[in-house]
Amino acid sequence: MIMKHTATPENGTQGYALDPKYTPPKPRRFSFRTAFHGLFLSAAGVALFINPAHGQTYWDGQTSNSWSDANWTLDITGVAANTLLGPNADVVFSSNSPANSANTTLGANQTISSLTINDSAVQSISGSTLTISGLLPSAITVGAGAGPVTISSNVALAGAANLITVNGGELTLSGVVSGTIGLTKDGDGVLTLTNTNTYTGDTAIADGTLQVGNGSTGSINVLSDVTIALGAVLQINLADAGSWGNDIVNNGQIQWISGGDNTQAGTSIISGTGSMLITSIGTTVLNGDNSLMLGGTTINTPGTVLAGTADAYGAGTLTIVNGTVDTFDNAILEISVGGYTQTGGETGFHLQGTTPANYTHYDVTGGANLGGGIVYLYQDDTGSYVPNGAWAGNPTGDIQTIIDTTTGVIGTFASDFPVATMYNQEFEQTFVYEQGETLLYPTLTYVNDVNVVWVRDPYTSIPGLTRNQRSVAGGLNGFAFLNPGTSGALAFLNAQPLASLPGLYDLIAPEEMTAIFQMGFHASEMQAASITQHLEFVRQGARRPMGDKESHTITASADGKHVEETAAVETPEGRWNIFVEGLGGNANVGSTSNAEGFDFTMYGAMMGADYLVNETLALGIMGGYAQSEASLINGGSIETDSFRAALYGTFFKGGFYLDGLVGLAYNSYDTDRLALLGRATGDTDGLEFTSMLNAGYDFRAGNLTFGPVASVAYTRVGIDGFNESGSLTPLSYRDQEQESLRTNLGAKISYVIPAGRVRITPQARVTWQHEFMDATQSIDSSFASGPGPVFTVDGPEMGRDSALVTAGVTVQFNPSVAAYAFYTGQLGRTNYDSHNVTVGVRISF
């Protein structure tokens, strides 16, 4: 080890001697050689450089600011005459330097032995190349009282001169530093290298700070190994996207301070007893092997730190004060540290399963101290893991130990409910799980280790659900109990925002399928109204004496003082009546808070024939076809083909009559509705039974007929069980039926208007209709993708009472042929109205 003695102006010498502990080699002969302004002597391991104090060359600057002009003096006081700079000079910018010392230029390439700057003014040296090739280590010295110094000239270190000492100030080398003898930084000041430096040999930081880069430029040769002494600092401030590939023996501290993104390359190895501090604003990536760095790592940055290896933070304690901490390229790592402390910032963990090899976690040989900070969880699009939460029927949810300690955990994170952003391959989208935002969410526990425990709240836990929504949610609870998988509808619903679940439950609920039943009830009402009108005609013809070919109508005379008999109209002798009619109608069922409404239309044709058995009884048979289509919410539909047949008859005596009908219908259905993530379609069929009794009494006053009417009708509409296909939640429907029991009470009136041999009879009928069965239809279903409970949803709620209004006209062209047209409307019923038109022809013979 060399010991240095520097002469004062009084002794005029500076010398170097071996450390007294040094064992010298075999004595050698004495040698000497001369140097500019001095003599270098060596013998038997002792070296002595004798340099007269006045041999140093001082900047005078009387001529210009160029080193190539006569701006130099050998006298620190400036008394000696100005000269040109001699070769291999020891150049000094003293505190007594006169004008033109602040900004100097080399003028040409210069070679000196050393450079010392003591001037307190801000200094800059520029231009050409400055070669420092002294026989002693000292190359550049910035004195304790010197101002900031910038050398933008290229600097070549040669000879033995590789020591740059900055005592308390700042020195920036913005030119290229070259050479083959390495670089040693000494002194407690800061040396900053901002160019692409090419020097080879080791870089040693004996004291103070060496900063590599200024955030825009700056690097050192990747072959230069760096050693940091105790108390010294290496600051890494490379350009954005810059990479550090050098090995470091760190017994001091490494500081990452870049404003951009800097990376420790995978070829870089950091070892030693020192520590690492990351304050970079951008992203710092640690891809090297730092397993032998013992002093720990502190992260206190507004930026991001990414670990690319399991040993990125060294073997000491990882301390997170601020910043985002994660793994590089979303790698799944088991990160080894000697301790774990977090008081702020956020730490990310990549999850792709429940075994340690499938998720990022910290393996802590000591303990963890938590006093804040948050955790976030995620899975990128390379993973297929779908979390499964604990719930009432499954008390054990997925668990991941993200911080595994040997001595336990003290404290907690700032929140025990981290946010998990998880890509789902089944749905090709990213789900965000969070307590209070989704049914499924992660929680943190702190028993010995820090664990992520997944929890799922019941599907019925959403406040403010409607009856139908609660029914669907109950079905989901039961389905999840019997089918505890992590795919399909459950996986999707578990990840949806709570606020959207009621609407999604509505998509699952098939309440619009209740239109099947309502269309059946409507068709039976149209059938009953048509037969009732037809039997009116049958009775009118039958009440005339059989064999009587004429019918006489008594009317008032024009002056109102006597009556007149109108011209006779021939009536048929036959007993048969045949009718053919077309019918069409529509109905609207409004929406309620519990169920969406629907509209439907129906078009069809009926024909029938009846026989007058005697003067009081007629019996008949009819058949028909109808096609109906319901328009459902979200573009859904139900198409129905209906084939109908019925027996009917009427008994009448005097003014009294009693009509009856009993019939069956075969209905074929094609269904299409918007369900969860797609359309659910199906097809089925079913039978419909209908019956009706209609009674009344006719009073006559001339051409006027009127009287009370009352009826009761029963309809049962059934469907065979079927399964839907399509969507995420196709449903299975069992065999089921709905019933309607209706009564009507009211009056009717008609009036015959002769028009030559044609009789025109307008008619009207108004009744109060009351529904005794459920005014709201319901439908039962379960999930078709697996076993589960049946859940029931209701269609829109409708009123029980309405006005049934029928109005029309019959035109009797001759005794055998008549045509008619009628309108029937159901009005005033809460949330329901219908309108129907029937047009037909009757033939009697």
- Tens of pLDDT, residue by residue over 161-194, are 999 999 999 999 999 999 999 999 999 999 999 9
Q: Kindly state the DSSP code that residue 152 receives in the 8-state scheme.
A: -
pLDDT digits (tens, 9 = 90+) for 640-667: 999 999 999 999 999 999 999 999 999 9
* Measured distance CA(79)–CA(91) in Å, rounded: 17
* Measured distance CA(221)–CA(236) in Å, rounded: 14
> Which whole number is the average pLDDT over 224-245?
98
Q: Kindly state the DSSP code that residue 260 receives in the 8-state scheme.
A: S
Q: How far is CA 332 from CA 341, 424, 736, in A?
A: 21, 17, 54
Range 486-508 burial, b when 16+ CB lie within 10 A, else e: bebbbbbbbbbeeeebbebbbbb
Q: Report the pLDDT value the prediction gives residue 775, as an integer from 0 to 100.
A: 82
Question: And the tokens for 138?
Answer: 């000292």
Tell me which residue of 709, 738, 716, 665 sits closest to 804, measured CA to CA.
Answer: 709
Q: Report the pLDDT value the prediction gives residue 52, as an integer from 0 to 100.
A: 41
- Would you say 198 and 176 are in contact if contact means Cβ atoms under 8 Å apart? yes
* pLDDT value at 33 more than 80: no
pLDDT digits (tens, 9 = 90+) for 84-126: 898 899 999 986 655 567 899 999 999 999 999 998 889 999 9
Q: Tell me what the pLDDT averaged over the chain comes to.
A: 89
**Neighbour tally for 462: CB within 10 Å:** 17
pLDDT digits (tens, 9 = 90+) for 247-269: 999 999 999 999 999 999 999 99
Residue 485 — pLDDT band, cuts 50, 70, 90? confident
Q: How far is CA 483 from CA 246, 394, 478, 480, 508, in A?
A: 56, 11, 9, 5, 17
Q: Report the pLDDT value the prediction gives residue 394, as an integer from 0 to 100.
A: 72
* Measured distance CA(492)–CA(494) in Å, rounded: 5
* pLDDT value at 415 more than 80: yes
Residue 40 — pLDDT band, cuts 50, 70, 90? very low
* Measured distance CA(314)–CA(326) in Å, rounded: 15
pLDDT digits (tens, 9 = 90+) for 557-575: 445 444 444 444 444 456 8
Tell me which residue of 718, 733, 721 sits closest to 784, measured CA to CA.
Answer: 733
Which residue type does 258 have? S
- Would you say 695 and 709 are in contact if contact means Cβ atoms under 8 Å apart? yes
DSSP-based three-state secondary structure for 391: strand
Roughly how many angstroms between the first and final C-alpha of the chain, as a whole number?
A: 140
- Would you say 247 and 229 are in contact if contact means Cβ atoms under 8 Å apart? no
Q: How are beta strands 731-733 and 722-723 bridged, if at all?
A: antiparallel
Q: Kindly state the DSSP code that residue 559 receives in the 8-state scheme.
A: T
Q: Report the pLDDT value the prediction gives residue 301, as an integer from 0 to 100.
A: 97
Give me the helix-helix angle, 501-508 and 467-482, nearest 10°. Answer: 80
Domains and CATH numbers, the chain: 89-456 (no CATH), 510-543+555-844 (2.40.128.130)
* Measured distance CA(568)–CA(754) in Å, rounded: 10
* Measured distance CA(518)–CA(598) in Å, rounded: 10
* Measured distance CA(793)–CA(424) in Å, rounded: 31
Residue 701 — pLDDT band, cuts 50, 70, 90? very high
> Which whole number is the average pLDDT over 801-829?
94
Q: Report the pLDDT value the prediction gives residue 98, as an integer from 0 to 100.
A: 57
Q: Report the pLDDT value the prediction gives residue 182, as an integer from 0 to 100.
A: 98
Which residue type does 807 have? A
pLDDT digits (tens, 9 = 90+) for 355-406: 999 999 999 999 999 999 999 999 999 999 999 999 876 778 899 999 999 9
Q: What angle do CA 252, 254, 256 make, to 5 degrees?
A: 160
> Which whole number is the average pLDDT over 603-624?
95
